[in-house]
Amino acid sequence: MNVIGLTEKESNSFLKRIEDPYRDVNRKNKGNVDKRYKRLEWLVMSVKVDDDKKYSLGQWIKLAPKISQGSKEPLDMFRDAIRLDPETFYEEYELNWYIAFDETLTFLAELKQLDYETYTDFIQEVYRED
């Protein structure tokens, strides 16, 4: 396995590229819904769904509802991972938002490949409540 080392400057640049789309995707940013949708789409397209990601998603779907303090429905958690900021998500579910958001992107990437119409319906529902 090859390990790629990043300098601090490269690491900060990468984090900024990821952080900017999240800010536009997140519900707290009440900007243009179309722009937020496109940013979410960009994040979903950047996910490479391999066997490890599928296994991780399956385990998260199985375990998260058992330990969550909020809704026990994974789809609600996926929606809220997009809508809520990390602190609010943790207050509601007592789950790590970063892990939930990563699993949400995996879920959306897989859903997009399997059933594009359901994928678009899900995304529209997320942003409809704004």
Question: What would the pLDDT profile of 22-35 be if each residue is shown by its tens digit?
Answer: 555 555 545 566 77
User: What number of H helices and E strands is found in the chain?
Assistant: 7, 0
Question: What would the pLDDT profile of 31-80 be if each residue is shown by its tens digit?
Answer: 566 777 788 888 999 899 999 999 999 999 999 988 888 778 899 999 99
Best CA proximity match to 96, nearest among 60, 120, 121: 60
Burial (0-12, 13-18, 19+ Cβ within 10 Å), 70: middle
pTM: 0.74
Q: For 58, what's the count of Cα atoms within 13 Å in the CB-facing half-sphere?
A: 7
Best CA proximity match to 100, nearest among 124, 67, 128, 51: 67
Best CA proximity match to 24, nearest among 8, 6, 39: 39
Question: What would the pLDDT profile of 87-97 be if each residue is shown by its tens digit?
Answer: 999 999 999 99
